Amino acid sequence: MTLLTGSILASLRSTPLLASSWYYIAAATFSVCNRPEEIPVIFRYAVEHDAAQYSSSLHTISAQATWSRWPPGSPSGSTASFGSEDESLFVECSNADPDRVRIIARKTREALLKAVALVGLPKSINSLIQLRNATPHEFREDGVMRPEVPIEEEVHRGTEFWNRVYGKVSRRVLSQMSTAYPDLAHYALQHVYSSLLSYTDVLSAKETSFVIIACLIPQDVNPQLKGHLKGGLNNGATKEEIMSVRDLSMRICRLCGISWKDEVAKLS
């Protein structure tokens, strides 16, 4: 049984300043909270409400009024669902703009992949499998998104992204990580920031910061969250946008039973 209802989804979707990003921020947060079964529900709701080929206030009210939990008996992300190809689980997209559905699916996948850097592979695998099971074939990827580039170019891109996120303290942060364990700094810069986070063809730098912030909040890691709240500003987000991301992620965390030792960090 999923946690999400039509009214909760409508509330998440109406988060100020996040009309075009609420769904992948929510998906990333639920993934970190280990609720992969919520991912198809978010995808379905985003397709129905953000990708419709036609819209009217009457249609929107009707859609929200008749929305029900879906899919019934949806798998919980266990390995038993990995090989599933049950078309009854596919989100109905016939009344949606296919280009918009493709964007929603692609951005959600990319957010769940980038979450690997914050929470690890297992949760992202489970969430991406759940999304795959709900995605009709024509909206899946048929190849690797990231192009092959020389390693030097990739590391240069990652270093630029790192420096932009951390700004004046970028060298100090890298030095602290290197002091903790030299391989940590090397891995973070060359393999997390370079090949994963700094790729911005699907999610922009600002959108990537949204995902990072959303993934850090459930983990109760204020030192890292403080850095990435400022990093969001450095990547072009406004303070108001960042606070909306924080609010959205915290509402989801509370829904999932997450609590924090101290007040969740915020921009001053």
The 3-state DSSP class for residue 108 equals: helix
**What is the amino acid identity at position 51?**
A
Amino acid 4: pLDDT = 97
Look up tokens 């048929």; give the residue. 142
What pLDDT score was predicted for residue 120?
95
Could you tell me the two tokens for 120? 């690890």
**What pLDDT sits at residue 70?**
52
In 3D space, the residue among 206, 216, 204 whose CA is nearest the CA of residue 264 turns out to be 216
Instruction: Over range 63-80, report the average pLDDT.
Output: 47
* In the chain, beta strands by DSSP E: none
User: And the tokens for 200?
Assistant: 């911005």
- Summarize pLDDT for 181-204 with one digit per residue, the tens: 999 999 999 999 999 999 999 999
The CB density around residue 45, as the number of other CB atoms within 10 Å, is: 25
The whole-model pTM stands at 0.91
**Is residue 108 exposed (0-12), middle (13-18) or buried (19+ Cβ within 10 Å)?**
buried
pLDDT of residue 82: 57
Instruction: Please count the other Cβ atoms lying within 10 Å of the Cβ belonging to residue 250.
Output: 18
Answer whether 121's CB lies under 8 Å from 221's CB.
Answer: no
Q: Which two tokens stand for residue 210?
A: 């949204």
Q: How confident is the model at residue 74 (pLDDT cuts 50, 70, 90)?
A: very low
168-177 residues labelled b (16+ CB within 10 A) or e (exposed)? eebeebbeeb
Burial per residue of 21-40, b for 16 or more beta-carbon CB atoms within 10 angstroms, e otherwise: bbbbbbbbbbbbbbbbbbbb
pLDDT value of residue 97: 96
H/E stretch holding 53: none
List the one residue out of 164, 262, 221, 238 whose CA is nearest residue 213.
221
> Quick one: pLDDT band at residue 257, thresholds 50, 70, 90?
very high
Instruction: Calculate ∠ Cα 141-9-209, nearest 5°.
Output: 55
pLDDT of residue 28 exceeding 70, the answer is yes
pLDDT, position 73: 44
What's residue 69's pLDDT? 56
Confidence (pLDDT) at 86: 85
253-262: buried (b, 16+ CB within 10 Å) or exposed (e) per residue? bebbebeeee
Read off the pLDDT of residues 104-132 as tens digits, 9 standing for 90 and up.
999 999 999 999 999 999 999 999 999 99
Task: Tell me which residue of 244, 268, 264, 265 sits closest to 12, measured CA to CA.
Answer: 244
